Amino acid sequence: MTLTPIGVIESPYQWRDEAPRQATVGAQAEATIVLRRGLQNTLKDLIGFEYCWVLYWFNYSHGWRQQVVPPRDRVKRGLFATRSPDRPNPVGLSAVRIVSIRGVRIVVRGVDMLNGTPVIDIKPYVPAYDAFPGAKAGWVDGLAEPGPDHRWE
């Protein structure tokens, strides 16, 4: 299997500890997705959407373990029941707000990606298909909102 990045993220975050743990938590920073030259026609009609999904490669990932302790929890959880960036195939997924599109540059808000992160794909966010109000969220449902980040204790 071969993946070819379609672009790269220009983000204000240089290091993992600078970025929010989730795109929807904390400051809603702006970033720019810069697509490879020649892909501008792929963005036709995307401006009509308020949000899009960005699939990207966690190129700063540090290997992986089968169980991890999430930042808002103190219990080891199975990796696939978490959103840890350290995964066997380090693919990330974030829903971001589209601010503007010009040429091959998409300005987005609400990012948690690091500067230089390779973008694999972009898909429109469609509420009728992508939202599941009232869906159960496993162990996360039992956490206090928004919950402390135990990484720094």
What is the total count of domains within the chain?
Answer: 1
Query: Closest by alpha carbon to 13, among 85, 88, 103?
Result: 85
72 assigned to some structural domain: yes
Looking at the domain assignment, is residue 147 inside a domain? no
pLDDT in tens, 52-101: 999 999 888 888 999 988 877 888 999 898 888 888 899 999 999 999 99
Predicted confidence band of residue 137 (pLDDT cuts 50, 70, 90): confident
User: What is this structure's pTM?
Assistant: 0.85
**Residue ranges making up the domain that contains 91:** 7-131
Least confident of 20-29, 31-40, 107-116: 20-29
Contacts for 139-144: CB closer than 8 Å, 24+ residues apart: 139/73, 139/75, 139/77, 139/81, 143/72, 143/73
Across 31-50, average pLDDT: 96
> Per-residue confidence at 152, pLDDT binned at 50, 70, 90?
very low
Is pLDDT above 80 for 25? no
In-domain check, residue 39: yes
pLDDT at residue number 16: 66
The CATH number of residue 56's host domain is 2.40.30.70
For the segment 109-136, what is each residue's pLDDT rounded down to a tens digit? 988 889 999 999 999 999 999 999 999 9
